[in-house]
Amino acid sequence: MSAELVLAPEFLLPENLPDSLGYAPGEVPEERMLAEVGFFVPDYIDSPNPEWMRLMPRLQVVQLPTVGFDAALPHLPEGVTLCNAAGVHEQSTAELTVGTIIARWRGIDRAARNMADGRWDHRRGRSLQGAVVVIVGAGGVGSRIGDALRPLGCRVEMVGRSARKGVWGAERLPELIASADVVVLAVPLTKETEGMVDAAFLERMPDGSLLVNVARGTVVITDDLLDALPRIEAVLDVVEPEPLPSDHPLWSAPGVLITPHIGGDTDAFPRLARELIDRQVRTWRAGAALSNVVVGP
């Protein structure tokens, strides 16, 4: 077997890629196979396996199928390049963000529950027209969310780590969220962002405003969010802990809509991921510069 073996989940393995091996969920290749891997694609959310990296002495590149990379960092061997899946999940995550804001503000989640009882409960909803939306995280996901919201009449304020054209610096965040109708979290999980949405952050949000988390669950301190409900509302695609236990108080908290970490997982994902993996493998084998590098060698 080639020392440039590519190992990827079967459903993400590009067709006709030489010297490549696919694996099924829960399947662990023999160690002699892992020892030949030079390019590794960890599995998706349901069965992540970054710990395999320590069994890959020839590993050169790890290509994640996700935009987030925090789970891979503790396992990344020194000198190995880590790339994320920027460009794969942005559109789908933006669709979910807009859809769940509308679902919450127009009462679609409530109407769906009422269907079970045949209950007709007409209420006036809230429109996105004129809404002030603060998006925390000005990378690919946050930018695409902003692009999706502006045509609906929203005033979008982007916030990044540092100021640049069209983006406020993080120092302006307390001021911006104090006048926000919606605050969307689209940041990577880092030491700076872990727990950033605490009691003080939530207290600055106006009464009746909506917090939307499509980042990582640990960006929000769950107990502090529970204390802030129902003064504010929340749409959560990610939570802490995750998966959320069936008896967790978030399930029954007023003003909360929860989806099970489905932001980027649509039927577009496998095709886009295969295309990215194919490009990255061919680039790597040609000795050229890879895209989406998070950690360099």
Residues with active-site annotation: 216, 242, 261
**DSSP secondary structure string for all residues of 201-226:** HHHHSPTT-EEEE-S-GGGB-HHHHH
Q: Whole-angstrom Cα distance, residue 9 to residue 274? A: 10
Cα separation of 260 and 189, whole Å? 18
Cβ–Cβ < 8 Å for 213, 170: no
Using CA atoms, how far residue 8 sits from 12, 62, 243, in Å, is 6, 10, 24
What are the structure tokens assigned to 249, written together?
A: 């108080």
Whole-Å CA distances, 103 to 41, 98, 109, 251, 258: 35, 9, 6, 17, 11
